[in-house]
Amino acid sequence: MNKVSIVILNYDGWAMTHNLLFDIYKNCSVQFIHEVLVVNNGCTEPESFTGLEWWIGTGMLPIRELRIEKNVGFLLGANAGLKDATGDIIVLLSNDVRIYGDVVALVVAGATIDEKILIGGKFYPTSTGWNDFDGRVYPYAEGWLLASTKKNWEELDYFDERYAPNDYEDVDLSTKAFSLGFAVAQITPDGGQILEHLSGRTLMYNADREELTKKNREKFREKWKPT
């Protein structure tokens, strides 16, 4: 049986993390879940610690904690969790996601159909603006749910840390996956039926974020040299 690690990054957003853990327990095939690894990424709110202790104490899910003392941002925190996870299949889930169906069973089925596959909650084969460089489109799986085997994550070398703290890491990862002969696919034909992404509510768009996006767009352009 495939063992699944679910990696969830939490930074002072315990209410969302709690809801996500309950969604996993209620809707997913627990027999496949080897571990739920909660990365406490520099949390300061007491609930992020007491709430996690409560979940571990219930035994409802096989939860363990990876604690990072200082918030290192999404990308570096995600990489830390992905590298620390020990399952055969590793699912990275943002905590601002709600689950209404058996995501774990779907990931297990998808990851065993094709040995080299990167599964996303949402796949964009056409332009979103983010992935359009002067008319050349780079299809990508959006980063709020990404799943593959541990072996594949190692071959992909995780997220490229030049994009830290965030933005363009999912477009870059998908582009690298394609370059290595991977398939990149959406978890279901309509991922919205079983998944809801709460539109990045933990990371609001403002002037600083806009500047970061522009810088990382240029990093992507320099790396992949779209023409």
Of 50-54, 138-142, 207-211, least confident by mean pLDDT is 207-211
What pLDDT sits at residue 157? Answer: 98
What pLDDT sits at residue 114? Answer: 83
Mean pLDDT throughout 75-93? 98
The rounded distance, in Å, linking the Cα atoms of 113 and 115 is 7
What pLDDT sits at residue 201? Answer: 53
Q: Tell me: the pLDDT tens digits for 134-189?
A: 999 999 999 999 999 999 999 999 999 999 999 999 999 999 999 999 999 999 87
Q: Which CATH number fits domain 4-224: 2.40.50.140, 3.40.50.720, 3.30.200.20, 3.90.550.10?
A: 3.90.550.10
Residue 46: how many CB atoms within 10 A of its CB? 9
CA dihedral for 159, 163, 165, 169, sign (positive or negative): negative
Is the overall model pTM greater than 0.85, yes or no? yes
Map residue 73 onto helix, strand or coil.
helix
Is the pLDDT score of 192 beyond 70?
A: no
Is the pLDDT score of 203 beyond 60?
A: no
Query: Which sequence spans correspond to the domains of the chain?
Result: 4-224
Q: Please give the angle made by the CA atoms of 12, 17 and 21, to the nearest 5 degrees.
A: 160
What pLDDT sits at residue 2? Answer: 84
Which distant-in-sequence residues (6+ apart) come within 8 Å of 178 by Cβ?
Answer: 139, 184
